[in-house]
Amino acid sequence: MANLLEERMQQSFINHVDENLLMDCMRCGFCLPACPTYLITDQDEVHSPRGRIALMKAVRDGEVKWDGSVEEAFDVCLGCRACEPACPAGVQYGTLLEETRYAVQQAKPIGLSEKLTRKVAFDGLFANQQIMQGTVKLIQFYQTTGIQKVARKIGFMELFPKTLRDMEKVLPKITSKKQSSSPSNPKIKVAFFTGCLMDTMFQQTNQRTIELLESLGAEVVVPKGQACCGALHGHSGEIPKAKRNALQNIEAFQHTDYSYIVQNAGGCGAFLSEYGKLLATDEAKRFSEKLIDISSLLVQLGLTDKMARHQVPVEGIVTYQDSCHLRNVNKVWLEPRALLQASPGWEFKEMPNASGCCGSAGIYNILQPEIASQLLEQKMKGVRTVRPARIVTTNPGCLLQMKVGIEREGLTDEMEAVHIVDFVYESIFQTTKGV
């Protein structure tokens, strides 16, 4: 039996994992100090990018037979891609990981609980905006009726793994949608990719994204028929589903004459920016080229300069947690910091290892709760050294994870985790009454 699986696995790796990409790795080890899982496991080479690439190649070449230990090496990878900017040889680790996970999916009947999680999350929640909104309605109902309190008391949530329970505590209060107004003489026209999670759990943030852009003279259109970006599918080896979503989005954004497609979630943004690579079509490339993240666009529209003109006394410290993918894939880290530095009423302080993954990594904190917890613990140690009143992030996953971190460390009285849009919005409209 085992041998059959071993053979199937090797064949699947031969079919799906690109040998040339594997060969790009010269095993220099320069990526090791950048890899959070290598560092948190006391420098275990198995949990390093170089080790994982070597294992991919060894499985493909038949030098190592598939077993649980090999599988674990791939499962423990965060997919944060911090190894890519550190690599002198330009190894496309993200692509290799996706190919590997796809190869594994093809060859192996996956574990039951994992399958369930996947099923609920992918086939149900993320595939369909309507269902997603339905789920949110349920959560909303749960929150507003007060059942939440009762459930917490009687320990209903104890039935779920600890991570899920902590997640549940920090789910944002959901409000309903508002209508917005376009500027009469727009400087620029942009299309807004709303993102499934952002559009449901973080509706207010999306609303404010639009308002901020409009107040800076941009016309914002929200094309209909958008789907989830497909990142979670892609990262878990569900490549065909990711492609399906990509096609739907490209279609949705095809017909308008806007300068940019703007998004406010780092993880989605990175995946959207790689549609060109994923589908290798001209339309996909055009879509990816138009993409911009909200921080960069706000800076480009002059928000930092405008904010800098409002001098008010400093009331608190703000720090920034990089979104791995915004930083490592889209190479954006200066703009969010520039916005925070310019925000009236705040002093920006860099925390140690702000670029290191917080352990959220999509649904990683659900699939690998132990390592995710260790990473978060380490992250919160860094947070404590700057003692901020706000931790700002640019991605919903990181945002929830930082909220969990604050909750776990008992710091809820001292600090709050917020999305950069909400932070900027509040610091403008609450301290200076607009720009």
Partner 1 sequence: MEWLQELQGIVGEPNVKTSRAQLAAYSYDATAGFQSAPDAVVSPASTEEIAEIMKLCGRFKKPLVPRGSGTNLAAGTVPTQGGIVLLFNRMNKILELDMANLCVTVQPGVITADLATFVESNGLFYPPDPSSMKISTIGGNVSENSGGLRGLKYGVTKDYVMALTAVLPNGQTIQTGGKLAKDVAGYDLKSLLVGAEGTLGVVTEITLKLIPLPRTQKTGIAYFTSLEAAGATVSEIIAAKIIPATLEFMDRGTMDAVEQFMNLGLPEDAEAMLLMEQDGDEDAVERDVNQMIALARANGATLTAVARSTEEAQRLKAGRRAALSALSRKRPTTILEDATVPRSELAKMVRAIEQIAKRNQVEIHTFGHAGDGNLHPTCLTDSRDLEEMARVEQAFAEIFEAAIDLGGTITGEHGVGEMKSPYLEWKIGPQGIELMKVLKQAIDPDNICNPGKLFAKSTKPRVVLHYG
Residues within the interface to partner 1 (CB under 8 A): 20, 23-24, 26-30, 32-33, 42-46, 48, 51, 54-55, 58, 63-65, 67, 69-70, 72-73, 88-90
Separation CA 100–CA 61 (nearest Å): 14
Separation CA 12–CA 319 (nearest Å): 44
Residue closer to partner 1, measured from CB, 85 or 161: 85
Residue closer to ligand SF4, measured from CB, 91 or 284: 91
Q: Which does 278 bind (CB under 5 to 8 A by kind): partner 1, ligand SF4, none?
A: none
Beta carbon of residue 374, minimum distance to ligand SF4 (angstroms, whole number): 13
Residue closer to ligand SF4, measured from CB, 37 or 321: 37
User: Bridge-partner residues for 393, per DSSP?
Assistant: 419
Q: Which does 121 bind (CB under 5 to 8 A by kind): partner 1, ligand SF4, none?
A: none
Beta carbon of residue 316, minimum distance to partner 1 (angstroms, whole number): 29
Burial of 130 (0-12, 13-18, 19+ CB in 10 A): exposed
Q: Which of 25, 239, 367, 415 binds ligand SF4 (CB under 6 A)?
A: 25
Q: Which does 188 bind (CB under 5 to 8 A by kind): partner 1, ligand SF4, none?
A: none
CA nearest to 402, candidates 294, 325, 321, 318: 321
Q: Which does 58 bind (CB under 5 to 8 A by kind): ligand SF4, partner 1, none?
A: partner 1
User: If you ran DSSP here, which 8-state letter would residue 34 be given?
Assistant: G
Beta carbon of residue 79, minimum distance to ligand SF4 (angstroms, whole number): 5
Residue closer to ligand SF4, measured from CB, 251 or 377: 377
Beta carbon of residue 53, minimum distance to partner 1 (angstroms, whole number): 10
Helix, strand, coil % over all residues of the chain, rounded to 5: 60, 10, 35
Question: Phi, psi at residue 390, to the nearest 5°?
Answer: -135, 135
Using the contact rule CB under 6 A, the part of the chain among 28-36, 241-249, 384-392, 404-412 near ligand SF4 is 28-36
Q: Which does 85 bind (CB under 5 to 8 A by kind): ligand SF4, partner 1, none?
A: none
Torsion of the alpha carbons at 12, 16, 21 and 23, rounded to the nearest 10: 20
Separation CA 349–CA 208 (nearest Å): 25
Which residues within the stretch 79-138 sit at the binding site for ligand SF4 (CB under 6 A)? 79-83, 86-87, 89, 91, 93
Burial of 313 (0-12, 13-18, 19+ CB in 10 A): exposed
The DSSP result for 95-128, as a single string, is HHHHHHHHHHHHHS---HHHHHHHIIIIIIIIT-
Beta carbon of residue 322, minimum distance to ligand SF4 (angstroms, whole number): 13
Number of residues that bind ligand SF4 (CB under 6 A): 27
Angle at alpha carbon of residue 266, lines to 261 and 272, rounded to 5°: 45
Q: In sequence order, which ranges of 280-368 are alpha helices (DSSP H)?
A: 282-289, 294-300, 303-308, 324-328, 334-342, 364-367
Beta carbon of residue 30, minimum distance to partner 1 (angstroms, whole number): 6
Angle at alpha carbon of residue 124, lines to 119 and 128, rounded to 5°: 145
Q: Which does 73 bind (CB under 5 to 8 A by kind): ligand SF4, partner 1, none?
A: partner 1
Which residues within the stretch 39-58 sit at the binding site for ligand SF4 (CB under 6 A)? 49-50, 52-53
Beta carbon of residue 7, minimum distance to partner 1 (angstroms, whole number): 15
Contact 333, 322 (CB under 8 A): yes
Beta carbon of residue 295, minimum distance to ligand SF4 (angstroms, whole number): 22
Using the contact rule CB under 6 A, the part of the chain among 78-86, 141-149, 338-346, 408-416 near ligand SF4 is 78-86
Residue closer to ligand SF4, measured from CB, 28 or 120: 28
First to last CA, the chain: 67
Q: Which does 23 bind (CB under 5 to 8 A by kind): partner 1, ligand SF4, none?
A: partner 1
CA nearest to 403, candidates 420, 422, 419: 419
- What distances in angstroms separate CA 401 from CA 44, 99, 315, 327, one per listed residue? 25, 27, 25, 17
Q: Which does 35 bind (CB under 5 to 8 A by kind): ligand SF4, partner 1, none?
A: ligand SF4
Residue closer to partner 1, measured from CB, 57 or 390: 57
Beta carbon of residue 32, minimum distance to partner 1 (angstroms, whole number): 5
Buried b (16+ CB within 10 A) or exposed e, 81-108: bbbbebbeeebbbbbbbbbbbbbbbbbe
Q: Does 326 bind ligand SF4 (CB under 6 A)?
A: no
Residue closer to ligand SF4, measured from CB, 79 or 362: 79
Q: Count of CB atoms within 10 A of residue 72's CB? A: 13
Residues that bind ligand SF4 (CB under 6 A): 25-31, 34-37, 49-50, 52-53, 77-83, 86-87, 89, 91, 93
